[in-house]
Amino acid sequence: MQLAVFNGADRAEVTAALRPCIDVRRWVDQIADARPFASSEALLDFARNAADPFTPDEVEAAMAHHPRIGERPTASTTEASMSRSEQAGVDPADREITTALAEGNRAYEEKFGRVFLIRAAGRTAPEILAALHERLNHTAEEEDAIVAQQLREIALLRLEGVISE
């Protein structure tokens, strides 16, 4: 969507475009209400600030939308297609890496009680696996901060993809 269209569109259309970036109503509403933006950069800066911090409830709600790494969603929603493209570095046919990721995901979920979440775009499968192994050593508090940061990075990258000048 072009920035000029985003600035002038009805609220419903704008919130529908923003929600697949991250399903946090406060973030979506604050951005929709702050229009018009003078540039994509101004929009991204505003969105970055509105995402910092996310409350623990917002993190939990947003997490529910993210499939496990290595489990590409097949749905035809915008969110699922964003997720597939973010996970493009993980080849589902590579059994060695998908098995290692599945084992790591299981261990992570057992320890932290939620899905392992990482900004996958721009990362190779071995990089994701290495991060997973390292993060398994963290405390719950350390992971809370990392997960919120990964959600911010995913939301901002998605927003960048939604808006053009």
The contact set with ligand 2AL (CB under 6 A) reads 66-69, 83, 86-87, 115-121, 154
Nearer to ligand 2AL, 120 or 125 (CB): 120
Shortest Å, Cβ 82 to ligand 2AL: 7
Shortest Å, Cβ 51 to ligand 2AL: 15
Shortest Å, Cβ 109 to ligand 2AL: 11
Shortest Å, Cβ 105 to ligand 2AL: 8
Nearer to ligand 2AL, 9 or 63 (CB): 63
Termini Cα distance of the chain:
9
Alpha carbon distance 46, 29 (integer Å): 12
Nearer to ligand 2AL, 39 or 60 (CB): 60
SS3 2: strand
Nearer to ligand 2AL, 87 or 129 (CB): 87
- Residue 140 in contact with residue 112, Cβ under 8 Å? yes
Nearer to ligand 2AL, 23 or 86 (CB): 86
Shortest Å, Cβ 10 to ligand 2AL: 29
Residue type, 40: S
- Residue 115 in contact with residue 66, Cβ under 8 Å? yes
Q: State the angle between helix axes of 40-50 and 25-34 in degrees (0 to 180), rounded to the nearest 10.
A: 140
Alpha carbon distance 16, 157 (integer Å): 17
Residue type, 69: I
